[in-house]
């Protein structure tokens, strides 16, 4: 099978879905010029010039228009240049998109995909490096997706576009150029299905988004120490496939939960709490969380390196639950 980068897989998903369904359109800042900073929307203007809208720098307007178009039966794919900027449109995401189906007693459908490039990359500091998945998980009515491989990115993007409800689609900027095998044909990945990225017997390592490659690196490093870890990638955080995660933990008896974002009140906290509720008697050691300390993202590399967890942090957590 051919190998392509994650950003190419996303672009391919967009092109395929735009080809398949006339109601899909793209809206965002710089999405025509260069196909956006990450080139994900490249080529669309050539094929569908009436279905791509390059906007002023007005995130509340961009998402607000997307919500309205979705209410009218369109399927907007919105690009927010950095997830940090979505804070300028939180009313549109939380009060409008997410609550609309419920508030109207099921009359409204808001099939909007909000693409949220996230995470540290290129030392752009606190206002261009956040992750924020747990903010969105906490809002009823939103679906939260965080792919870690090109294969998952394409299949999940296609599912997101076909979904009748809003999707916050997290794209780890550091993974855009990471490569992997991606089929050329049409395939979708259902929401709420975790993927076991590495089989193992000793410890279940739940890794989210950008932490998946780091957990896999840790898996290789730990082989020398005789630890065989299983890496579970939830792929979608809402809905969250606790069944697969619990099934793995029941086998291994040990759990490490890894996220790149701040651990405090984060995604890992939800997973760890659910594990404690559902698998307490299967656990042979306390659950360990891996994540950033509760600080904004710093600028200097020396500071970033001690903020963002790396594979060594995952190794440390595994040793702790094995001790």
Nearer to another protein by C-beta: 1 or 107? 107
The one segment of 182-190, 213-221, 300-308, 311-319 that binds another protein by CB under 8 A:
182-190
Are 146 and 208 contacting, i.e. CB atoms less than 8 angstroms apart? yes
Measure the CA–CA gap between 109 and 128, rounded to whole angstroms: 31
Which of 15, 34, 128, 281 is labelled catalytic?
128
Measure the CA–CA gap between 137 and 214, rounded to whole angstroms: 23
The one segment of 183-191, 195-203, 229-237, 246-254 that binds another protein by CB under 8 A:
183-191
Nearer to another protein by C-beta: 96 or 129? 96
Q: Is 290 helix (H, G, I), strand (E, B) or coil?
A: strand
Are 109 and 162 contacting, i.e. CB atoms less than 8 angstroms apart? no
Token reading at 9: 């897989």
The region that residue 30 occupies, defined by phi over 0 for left and psi between -120 and 50 for alpha, beta otherwise, is left
Token reading at 74: 């369109």
Nearer to another protein by C-beta: 105 or 226? 105
The one segment of 136-144, 173-181, 287-295, 307-315 that binds another protein by CB under 8 A:
136-144
CA angle, corner 23, sides to 17 and 28, nearest 5? Answer: 80
- Asked if 34 is an active-site residue, the reply is no
Among 221, 195, 218, which residue's Cα sits nearest to residue 208?
195
Q: Is 180 helix (H, G, I), strand (E, B) or coil?
A: strand
Token reading at 40: 């994900």
Smallest separation (angstroms) from another protein to the CB of 23: 8
Residue choice 5, 74, 83, 245 for contact with another protein (CB under 8 A): 74
Nearer to another protein by C-beta: 25 or 170? 25
Smallest separation (angstroms) from another protein to the CB of 79: 16
Residue choice 42, 143, 204, 244 for contact with another protein (CB under 8 A): 143
Whether the bond between 219 and the residue before it is cis, its omega within 30 degrees of 0, is no
Are 298 and 126 contacting, i.e. CB atoms less than 8 angstroms apart? yes
Q: What are phi and psi of 169, to 5 degrees?
A: -105, 105
Nearer to another protein by C-beta: 88 or 221? 88
Nearer to another protein by C-beta: 66 or 234? 66
Smallest separation (angstroms) from another protein to the CB of 189: 8
Q: Is 199 in the site for another protein (CB under 8 A)?
A: no
Q: Is 151 in the site for another protein (CB under 8 A)?
A: no
Q: Is 77 in the site for another protein (CB under 8 A)?
A: no
Measure the CA–CA gap between 210 and 260, rounded to whole angstroms: 7
Residue choice 2, 49, 107, 224 for contact with another protein (CB under 8 A): 107
Nearer to another protein by C-beta: 73 or 226? 73
| Per-residue x/- track, 83-102, another protein (CB under 8 A) | --------xx--xx---xxx
Q: Is 154 in the site for another protein (CB under 8 A)?
A: no
Measure the CA–CA gap between 230 and 10, rounded to whole angstroms: 27
Measure the CA–CA gap between 204 and 17, rounded to whole angstroms: 35
Residue choice 1, 2, 49, 105 for contact with another protein (CB under 8 A): 105
* Site for another protein, residues 34 to 73, rule: CB under 8 A: 50-51, 53, 55-56, 58, 60-61, 63-73
Q: Which helix (H) or strand (E) holds 159?
A: helix 150-162
User: Catalytic residue numbers?
Assistant: 128
What residues make contact with another protein under the rule CB under 8 A?
25, 50-51, 53, 55-56, 58, 60-61, 63-74, 76, 91-92, 95-96, 100-109, 140-141, 143, 159, 162-165, 186-188, 190-191
């Amino acid at each position: 099978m051919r190998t392509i980068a994650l950003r190419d897989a996303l672009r391919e998903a967009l092109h395929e879905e735009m080809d398949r369904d006339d109601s899909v359109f793209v809206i965002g800042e710089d999405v025509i010029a260069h196909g956006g900073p990450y080139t994900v929307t490249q080529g669309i203007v050539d094929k569908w010039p009436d279905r791509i809208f390059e906007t002023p720098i007005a995130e509340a307007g961009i998402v607000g228009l997307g919500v309205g178009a979705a209410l009218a039966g369109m399927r907007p794919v919105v690009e927010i240049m950095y997830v940090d900027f979505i804070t300028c449109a939180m009313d549109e995401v939380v009060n409008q998109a997410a609550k609309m189906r419920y508030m109207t007693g099921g009359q409204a459908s808001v099939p909007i995909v909000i693409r949220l490039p996230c995470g540290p990359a290129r030392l752009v500091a606190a206002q261009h490096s956040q992750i924020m998945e747990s903010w969105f998980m906490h809002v009823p009515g939103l679906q939260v997706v965080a792919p870690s491989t090109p294969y998952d990115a394409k299949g999940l993007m296609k599912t997101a576009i076909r979904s009748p409800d809003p999707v916050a689609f997290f794209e780890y900027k550091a993974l855009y150029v990471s490569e992997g095998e991606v089929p050329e044909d049409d395939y979708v990945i259902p929401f709420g299905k975790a993927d076991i990225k590495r089989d193992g017997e000793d410890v279940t390592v739940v890794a989210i988004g950008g932490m998946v490659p780091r957990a896999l690196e840790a898996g290789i490093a730990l082989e020398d120490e005789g630890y065989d870890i299983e890496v579970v990638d939830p792929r979608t955080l809402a809905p969250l496939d606790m069944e697969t995660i619990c099934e793995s933990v029941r086998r291994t008896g040990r759990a490490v939960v890894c996220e790149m974002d701040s651990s405090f009140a984060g995604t890992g906290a939800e997973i760890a709490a659910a594990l404690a509720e559902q698998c307490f008697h299967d656990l042979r050691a306390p659950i360990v969380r891996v994540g950033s300390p509760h600080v904004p993202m710093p600028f200097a590399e020396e500071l970033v390196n001690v903020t963002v967890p790396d594979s060594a942090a995952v190794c440390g957590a595994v040793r702790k639950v094995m001790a």
